[in-house]
Amino acid sequence: MTNEAEPGHHTTGWNDTSNPAPGGSASYRGVCTCFDQGRVSNRRRVRFHHERQDTSSQAWQHLLALIEEAAADGREVFRPLAEMSLEERRQIVTLPPSIAKLTAVKEFTLYGSNLVRIPPEIGAMESLQEFTPYTSYRLHWFPYELTRCASLKRSTVSTRALYGNEKLRPPFPPLQPARVVTTDLGLDDVDPGHWGTTAVRGCSVCDRSLEGAEIHQAWISLRVATDVLPLLVNACSASCLQALPKPPEGYVQTPHAGGPGLSQPTADYA
């Protein structure tokens, strides 16, 4: 965890994406009104960001090329946003599944991004040791597959932007009902406003294909590297949910479906 600037205030001192737009406004990031990230407050029902990535944009094609280049040369430090213009950064709201090719990357920096989600393929980054999505104020959760990065030891995350964080306890979006059958569901193209993601191909826990299976969605808060993160689980069975680790003290102690009725520990506002 890091001492954080308030959302909307630009922080300097980083070499990759610390350049403010003309006039000092961070125009490469969209505005997020999901919940107040500065203080405890009464909040309306929280939902997932619904934006879809424009995969026809020049920005997306540039990002794909950067990933291919990094995978080909086996680099250990990957800071893709440092090589993109302010306008290109604004257009990137997720990462492509091809990040699974970045098996040599040890340091992955996404400082000041406009991301609203990260795909589960990040779990294939087996060498990842340091993950920095700091000041990505629209990024409120992470895929459970991040726990597969066994070498991950350091993270720098704007924790006040996270669902269920200990300072503010913002609510979690409600998840899909338990035991959704995928027979008639296009797993490669689901509604991110309802599912949190645009694809649910494999079980977050055992990696079994979800084709024709059931989907048991759940939230769980776990310590990953430096921080306790809200993780979204897409499990193939109740037994996979039961196999999840126990959350640390001070967080909801079982996997849950989120929603306004969820009881969380009292916020430790400071």
Question: What is the per-residue pLDDT across 134-166, written as a single tens digit (0 to 9) for each?
Answer: 999 999 999 999 999 999 999 999 999 999 999
Q: Say if 236 falls within a structural domain.
A: yes
Averaged pLDDT, 46-58:
95
One-letter amino acid at 160 equals: R
* Cβ-count burial 228-241 (b if 16+ within 10 Å, e if not): bbbbbbbbbbeebb
Q: 234 with 203: CB under 8 angstroms?
A: yes
Which pLDDT score is estimated for 43? Answer: 65
One-letter amino acid at 159 equals: T
The residue to which tokens 């505005």 are assigned: 31
The total number of residues shown for the chain amounts to 270
**Token pair recorded at residue 85:** 């213009």
Q: Say if 208 falls within a structural domain.
A: yes
Q: Say if 21 falls within a structural domain.
A: no
Q: Say if 267 falls within a structural domain.
A: no
Measured over the CA atoms of residue 143, residue 147, residue 150 and residue 151, the dihedral's sign is positive
* Residue 138, CB-side half-sphere exposure with 13 Å CA sphere: 23
Mean pLDDT of the chain: 87
- What pTM was estimated for this model as a whole? 0.87
Instruction: Please tell me whether residue 217 adopts helix, strand or coil conformation.
Output: strand
Which pLDDT score is estimated for 268? Answer: 72
CA 239 to CA 242: how far, in whole Å? 5
Task: Please name the residues in contact with 69: beta carbons below 8 A apart, sequence gap of 6 or more.
Answer: none
Q: Say if 32 falls within a structural domain.
A: no
Q: What range defines the domain where residue 158 resides? A: 44-242
Residues pairing with 209 in the sheet: 202
Task: Please name the residues in contact with 180: beta carbons below 8 A apart, sequence gap of 6 or more.
Answer: 214, 215, 217
Q: Say if 30 falls within a structural domain.
A: no
Q: Say if 215 falls within a structural domain.
A: yes
> How many independent structural domains does the chain possess?
1
Q: Say if 233 falls within a structural domain.
A: yes
